[in-house]
């Protein structure tokens, strides 16, 4: 019985390969091997047709070869490998879309004091008070009082578990002074990211006040921050 041609041989081998993503690689490798054998027989003086028949005959039974190769290239491992690769790509993409922006957001966010002109600052106090609410740590960092009577409160906050999705923190507590005045919550803003920055501005704050009280008392959570304020027309 004449040997099958090269393409017929390769077709019979590849029909035994269950993992489709391996077929192209196996085909290329076997085809290269057969081509080498063909070249060898041509050097020995065979014509092309007989050289191809001899080369294919040298390879052996294509069905048996395919069965053995299929065992080596386990379809189950192949599918697991392929699926795991796709899932890794997907999860990397999700991290790029969600996690990287969150981690880098606060690096480029504002809320430094740059928006308050130097000339309008009446006094500035470095605070450095740290309080905690559940998993949130709040660091009150600075208070600035401007010549228009506005008190600017700067703070940063982060989740101790570095967990995301834990919401903004706008209500920092009631604002009072040592003169008995209570002020509205004031306008404010915040940034995303880890950690986050926050900012409140209280209008009409008394220039005579010597202590700022920030008191949080909500849902059985409490803290109080006292900030001594400078006397007279001085700047820190």
Partner 1 sequence: MNRRKEFTRNIVLLSVLSYLFLHISGLYLNPISAYEQAERSGHYGPSEMKHIEDYVSGKLILGTYDRWVSYTTIHRTGFFFWRPRGVNAFEYDRSKPLDYSRGIENQFYRLYGIVNDASIDQVEITLGDGTVLSQTDLYEDLFLFTWEEGGYPKSIRGYDAEGNLVYQEATGY
Cβ-based nearer residue to partner 1, 1 or 97:
97
**Of 43-51, 127-135, 145-153, 203-211: span binding partner 1 (CB under 8 A):** 127-135
Q: Please name every residue paired with 159 in a beta bridge, in sequence order, or none if there are none.
A: 136
**Of 28-36, 142-150, 156-164, 198-206: span binding partner 1 (CB under 8 A):** 156-164
Cβ-based nearer residue to partner 1, 4 or 78:
78
Cβ-based nearer residue to partner 1, 70 or 150:
70
Helix intervals (H) in the chain: 6-14, 23-43, 48-59, 62-72, 75-94, 100-105
Measured distance CA(169)–CA(138) in Å, rounded: 9
Draw the binding track, 186-225, toward partner 1 (x: CB under 8 A; -: no contact).
Answer: --------x-----------------------xxxx----
Q: Where are the beta strands (DSSP E) in 93-233?
A: 121-133, 136-146, 151-159, 174-177, 182-183, 187-190, 196-202, 211-218, 221-228
Cβ-based nearer residue to partner 1, 57 or 95:
95
**Phi/psi of residue 156, each to 5°?**
-125, 155
Measured distance CA(139)–CA(217) in Å, rounded: 17
Q: Which residues bind partner 1 (CB under 8 A)?
A: 77-78, 80-81, 84-85, 87-88, 91-92, 94-95, 98-99, 102-103, 133-136, 159, 161-167, 194, 218-221
């Amino acid at each position: 019985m004449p040997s099958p041609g090269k393409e017929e041989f390769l077709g019979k081998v590849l029909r035994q390969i269950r993992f489709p993503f391996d077929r192209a690689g196996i085909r290329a490798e076997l085809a290269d091997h057969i081509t080498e054998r063909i070249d060898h027989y041509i050097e020995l003086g065979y014509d092309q047709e007989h050289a191809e028949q001899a080369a294919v005959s040298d390879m052996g039974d294509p069905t048996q070869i395919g069965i053995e190769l299929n065992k080596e290239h386990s379809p189950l491992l192949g599918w697991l490998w392929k699926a795991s690769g796709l899932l890794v790509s997907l999860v990397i993409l999700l991290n790029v879309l969600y996690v990287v922006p969150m981690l880098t957001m606060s690096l480029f966010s504002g809320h430094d004091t740059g928006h308050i002109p130097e000339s309008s600052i009446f006094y500035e106090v470095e605070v450095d008070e740290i309080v905690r609410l559940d998993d949130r740590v709040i660091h009150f960092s600075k208070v600035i009082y401007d010549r228009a009577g506005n008190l600017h409160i700067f703070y940063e906050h982060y989740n101790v578990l570095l967990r995301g999705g834990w919401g903004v923190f706008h209500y920092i507590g009631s604002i009072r002074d040592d003169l008995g005045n209570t002020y509205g919550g004031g306008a404010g803003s915040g940034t995303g990211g880890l950690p986050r920055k926050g900012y409140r501005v209280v209008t009409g704050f008394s220039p005579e006040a010597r202590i700022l009280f920030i008191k949080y008392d909500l849902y059985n959570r409490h803290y109080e921050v006292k900030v001594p304020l400078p006397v007279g027309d001085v700047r820190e």
